[in-house]
Amino acid sequence: MTAYKHALNRRLSRRLVVVGAITAGGLLLAACGGDDMKGMDHGSGSSASASATRATGESAAPGAFNDADVMFAQMMIPHHEQALEMSQLADGRASDAEIKSLAADIEKAQDPEIRTMKSWLKAWGKPESAGESMPGMDHGSGGMDHGSGMSGMMSDEDMKKLEAAKGTEFDRMFAELMIEHHKGAITMAEDEQKKGRDATAKKLAADVVRTQSAEVGKFEKILDRL
């Protein structure tokens, strides 16, 4: 019996060692796997976030800013939005190839800039609309004109006339209205360059001045030949 018990104990001991090793190995693999999965999650999340940031045109959160930066973003957003509305009307109405091309360029440039400026205001903890922080300023209608500081904005009547036009009439009207609209944006951007503090906002303002000044020149040449 004694020899039998010793043999049994040895077999049990070996089994316990094997089971313990398997259990430890499983725990080690689980731990390593958990770390790897966490790393993969974090990596893929960062990659997706970066891709989303690039897709929306958003820049990194701005640094130090002032009231001029906030006002620039709050006013330029609806200004850009109206430019998008005007450009979208070109589809099915414009007849001039260059007008169609410029309308497409405006959409490509200004839509990402709108998202970028919205991201700034969110980072700054400021509302998207200046009307929310400055009661009495109606930025949601055709009232956004020279009197409200939104130079170059089209009235509701202007937009209706543009919508009703077609062919060469649309081309000419679109060019005339967009020249005025662009000049208003350039004025606001130049003001931001002088009074703004945030470097990212001032860079976008410089881009607005450069690109829209060039487009104004193109629209003026189009009008000369229409």
Q: What are the residue ranges of helices labelled H in the chain?
A: 2-56, 67-88, 97-124, 130-133, 156-164, 167-195, 199-225
Amino acid (one-letter) located at 207:
D
Q: What is the pLDDT along the chain (226 residues), one digit of tens a residue?
A: 444 344 434 443 444 343 344 444 443 333 434 444 333 333 333 333 333 333 344 455 567 899 999 999 999 999 999 999 999 999 999 999 999 999 999 999 999 999 999 999 999 999 998 765 444 444 333 333 333 457 889 999 999 999 999 999 999 999 999 999 999 999 999 999 999 999 999 999 999 999 999 999 999 999 999 9
What pLDDT, on the 0 to 100 scale, is given for residue 140?
Answer: 37
Q: Are 144 and 138 in contact (CB under 8 A)?
A: yes
> What DSSP assignment string belongs to 78-126?
HHHHHHHHHHHTTTTT---HHHHHHHHHHHHHHHHHHHHHHHHHHHHT-
As given in the structure block, the two tokens for residue 68 are 């001029």
Q: Report how far apart, in Å, the C-alpha atoms of 22 and of each of 26, 84, 192, 194 are.
A: 6, 65, 68, 71
For residue 82, what pLDDT is reported?
97
pLDDT at residue 129, rounded to an integer: 86
CA–CA gap between residue 55 and residue 49 (Å, rounded): 10
Residue-level pLDDT at 130: 78
Please return the burial class of 95, using the count of CB atoms within 10 Å of its CB with bins 0-12, 13-18 and 19+. Answer: middle
